Structure 1
Amino acid sequence: MKCREYKLPKIGLKVQVERKLRGYSQQDFAKICGLSKSQLCKIELNQYKTMTLETAYQIASKLDMGIDELIDLNQINYSN
């Protein structure tokens, strides 16, 4: 059974602002999230093609946010 993929709303600006408010450099924040700096840069610039919910959760948790605070679930396009 194939899992459905949903397009997540763009979260880059929120990630960037919250990261900077907490004093993290891109390099340091990427490392604690288990991402490369390049991956984090793409996320912050909304240039990622796909992102797993696990990655979004990891970012949210490292920012001391709930996943619902990071991703506005009302903006998800559920039509495929």
Structure 2
Amino acid sequence: MSIKELLNSYEFDPEFIYEGLKHDLAEQLKELMESKGISKKELAERMGVSPSYITRIFGADNISLKTVAKVLAALEVNGRISLTPSKREG
């Protein structure tokens, strides 16, 4: 089985989708912080939480949308979820 075939076999696996979403979300939040020049410490101050809480957010296995909304509000950014249909080759 090729790598492409292996990836395609997991494409609609809930755990695979979840891990991808978690990774994408963490990366996008980090990029937003970097583009605004905001450190984890400053984000924590803006949210009224400890820096260790911010670290836990970025490593969370089950981050809630409410927590994501609080981070986005602290970064003064609007959020949007975009779902994209699969373009799987048959």
Report the TM-score range of the alignment, normalised by the length of the smaller protein. Answer: 0.5 to 0.7
Partner of 1:61: 73
Q: TM-score, normalised by structure 1?
A: 0.60
Larger Rg: 2
CA distance in 2, matches of 1:74, 1:34: 31
* Identity rate, percent: 17
Gaps of 5+ in 1: 1-6, 76-80
Number of residues of Structure 1 aligned to a counterpart in Structure 2: 64
Q: List, as ranges, runs of 4+ consecutive aligned residues in structure 1 with deviation greater than 3 Å.
A: none
The answer to which of 18-27 and 29-38 deviates more is 29-38
1:15 is aligned to 29
Equivalent in the alignment of 1:74: 83
Indicate how the Cα distance of structure 1 residues 74 and 34 shifts in structure 2: closer, same or farther if over 3 A, else same. farther
2:11 paired residue number? none
Report the alpha carbon displacement of residue 73 of structure 1 after superposing the two structures with TM: 4.6
Give TM-score, length-normalised by structure 2: 0.55
CA RMSD across the alignment: 2.4
Question: Which structure has the higher relative contact order (CA within 8 Å, separation 6+)?
Answer: 1
* Unaligned segments of structure 2, at least 5 residues: 1-17, 85-90
1:31 & 1:21 partners in 2: Cα distance?
Answer: 18
